Amino acid sequence: MRVVVVGTGVAGLSLVMQLVDDHEVIMLEANEDIGGTWLPRQCYHNLETHGCRAAFQLPWGDAEERDPLEHVHHTELFQALDRWAAEKSLREKMRFHTRVTGLRTVPGGVEVLAEGQPPLRADVVLYTGTTANPLVPEFKGSFDGLILPAMQVHTQVFERIVEQKLKVLVLGGSKAAQDQVWNFMKAGYADGITWVFRKAYWGTNFNYTRDKYMWGSEVGLQARLRLVLFCVRYYQDTHFIGYESLLTRLCMLVLKWSKYLICPFPDGLKLGHFHGGIFEPGRIEQMRSLRHVQGAEIAQLSGRTATLTTGEVVEADVIICATGAKNQKVPVSGEASFVPHELADDEVYRGLIVPRAPRVVFMNALTLGNILKDARRVGAWLRNCYLPTLASAGEEATRALLEHGLAEQNAEAGAVRSRHFDLWHSFDRPVPWMFHVNRELDSESRSGVLTTAPKNVVPTLDALRAWVYRQFVYPVKAGLYLLFADRSVKAA
């Protein structure tokens, strides 16, 4: 089949690695090179991963000699992606400077529309280019200085700020905000910075994780980090399955008491404010000494001052907005016309198919580790199950199977109903399907029929049993799975 992949970021590359041996693959990329978020030209000054090298399964080159616990600088991550692309000669299959503007469903396929190019016919399109559009709030009033999204604080800009001793207001509490603040502190420019954020985020305590769990094994650390993040995700992500799980809450509280989870600004400790970063307590101690205002937003700008919602007035020449990103959207036209991302901009999804356009698959995830893991699974599923089904059973039958799977997902999700068949939802839960994907789909003998959704382990009509399942059974099962099944994830 001809598979067209939009985007050559981590998600696009991970997916393609699974497919390139069996299918004709064409990758379209708006930039001049691979990497997406990690393309060096795009990165802000000193961008590093907020997880250590050991947590990401990428070809790290001379990594044997490097500390597996180091955070990875963006240049090194880019090199790893580059090596990865070279392994399967992926560059030969890429078309750079090609921004996809829309997808058109046509009988038996999809046409990919790109600026200044004739439509490109595909059997299936995997759309991964969804992240990294910086979101800058609209402020009241006018500002004489410079307003920059964090993504644009490249090294030159950063150096100019420090050299000219410009006053900086960093807005936001995310990982990017912390990076900005930390960079200025490292450059000895803490005095010029005021950090304003709404919520104090939590993260995992890197030192604690390392000391307690590393045991000299990458997998040990990784599996346990996953368990924590998994629990947190389950708490946080109420969209899918009721993450107000008592067990997850309990788990988080225990992790908090044990200092596994920490918060840069402890006054703000609230379960709902978790951000999946990995924090170093030493760094956090230093960051606390910086001038900061928490629980605040910018209410009004005037000249070179920002009045905050707390009433404080901050002088600034530059406002750096680390205020999140918007999903990019391209419309799907033709018989199945829709704007693919019917979810709100800030909702994250990892793999979606809209049943009425079964030849278009969307892939996205919030973090690197998840993308690497999920894309492998989604890729394995596509290769072994979905694409053969589409080829042999045809579009109508596949659509019917998807509808069926969607109905099962919706039934399981209770009140939450979606119009998308959600691959991520299927892979991560219920647990039996996770096993299914990791163990069975990967065997080449299974070339046959798409079985749609997992066998639904939640009796959908029995609300009480479903509640017990969600609150207790599933978190325990999935937790055990994550602890003990790491090898099979690796193999997949």
Ligand X SMILES: Cc1cc2nc3c(=O)[nH]c(=O)nc-3n(C[C@H](O)[C@H](O)[C@H](O)COP(=O)(O)OP(=O)(O)OC[C@H]3O[C@@H](n4cnc5c(N)ncnc54)[C@H](O)[C@@H]3O)c2cc1C
In which element (H, E) is residue 425 found?
helix 423-428
Which span sits near ligand X by CB under 6 A: 123-131, 240-248, 287-295, 454-462?
A: 123-131
Least Å from the CB of residue 394 to ligand X: 28
Least Å from the CB of residue 129 to ligand X: 2
SS3 content of the chain, % helix, strand, coil (to 5): 45, 20, 35
Q: Interface with ligand X includes 30 (CB under 6 A)?
A: yes
Q: Interface with ligand X includes 379 (CB under 6 A)?
A: no
Structure tokens at 337: 């016309």
| Cα–Cα distance measured from residue 198 to residue 295, given in angstroms and rounded to the nearest whole number | 4
Footprint of ligand X on 49-88 (CB under 6 A): 49-51
| Cα–Cα distance measured from residue 455 to residue 399, given in angstroms and rounded to the nearest whole number | 18
> Is 105 or 367 the residue whose CB approaches ligand X more closely?
367
> Is 90 or 176 the residue whose CB approaches ligand X more closely?
176
Phi, psi (5° rounding) for residue 15? -65, -45
Footprint of ligand X on 87-106 (CB under 6 A): 99-100
Q: Interface with ligand X includes 183 (CB under 6 A)?
A: no
Query: Binders of ligand X: how many residues, by CB under 6 A?
Result: 35
> Is 182 or 474 the residue whose CB approaches ligand X more closely?
182
* β-bridge partners, 278: 204
> Is 203 or 479 the residue whose CB approaches ligand X more closely?
203
Q: Interface with ligand X includes 128 (CB under 6 A)?
A: yes
Q: Interface with ligand X includes 16 (CB under 6 A)?
A: no
> Is 349 or 474 the residue whose CB approaches ligand X more closely?
349
Kindly give the pairing relationship between strand 48-52 and strand 100-106.
Answer: unpaired
Single out the residue of 205, 222, 323, 364 in contact with ligand X (rule: CB under 6 A): 364
> Is 154 or 256 the residue whose CB approaches ligand X more closely?
154
Single out the residue of 12, 145, 203, 242 in contact with ligand X (rule: CB under 6 A): 12
> Is 362 or 474 the residue whose CB approaches ligand X more closely?
362
> Is 424 or 469 the residue whose CB approaches ligand X more closely?
424
Least Å from the CB of residue 391 to ligand X: 26
In which element (H, E) is residue 247 found?
helix 246-257
| Cα–Cα distance measured from residue 183 to residue 91, given in angstroms and rounded to the nearest whole number | 33
> Is 49 or 389 the residue whose CB approaches ligand X more closely?
49
> Is 48 or 442 the residue whose CB approaches ligand X more closely?
48
- List the one residue out of 133, 145, 131, 155 whose CA is nearest residue 298: 145
Single out the residue of 38, 230, 386, 421 in contact with ligand X (rule: CB under 6 A): 38
Which span sits near ligand X by CB under 6 A: 6-14, 117-125, 339-347, 402-410?
A: 6-14
Q: Interface with ligand X includes 8 (CB under 6 A)?
A: yes
Least Å from the CB of residue 165 to ligand X: 25
- List the one residue out of 307, 308, 278 whose CA is nearest residue 294: 308
Q: Interface with ligand X includes 11 (CB under 6 A)?
A: yes
| Cα–Cα distance measured from residue 281 to residue 283, given in angstroms and rounded to the nearest whole number | 5
Structure tokens at 375: 């894309």
Single out the residue of 3, 4, 5, 7 in contact with ligand X (rule: CB under 6 A): 7
For 24-153, list the strands marked E by DSSP: 24-28, 48-52, 71-73, 94-95, 100-106, 109-114, 120-122, 124-127, 133-134, 146-149
Q: Interface with ligand X includes 247 (CB under 6 A)?
A: no
Q: Which position has the token pair 């299936």?
A: 124
In which element (H, E) is residue 212 found?
helix 206-213
Single out the residue of 16, 18, 29, 406 in contact with ligand X (rule: CB under 6 A): 29
Footprint of ligand X on 324-363 (CB under 6 A): 325, 328, 330
Helix (H, G, I), strand (E, B) or coil at 426: helix
**Cα–Cα distances in angstroms (integers) from residue 167 to residues 161, 180, 193, 291, in the given order:** 8, 13, 6, 12
Least Å from the CB of residue 277 to ligand X: 8
**Cα–Cα distances in angstroms (integers) from residue 31 to residues 44, 272, 300, in the given order:** 16, 36, 36
Structure tokens at 319: 């406002």
Alpha carbon 287 to its chain's center: 26
Residues that bind ligand X (CB under 6 A): 6-12, 28-31, 36-38, 47, 49-51, 99-100, 128-129, 131-132, 151, 175-176, 325, 328, 330, 364, 367-369, 371
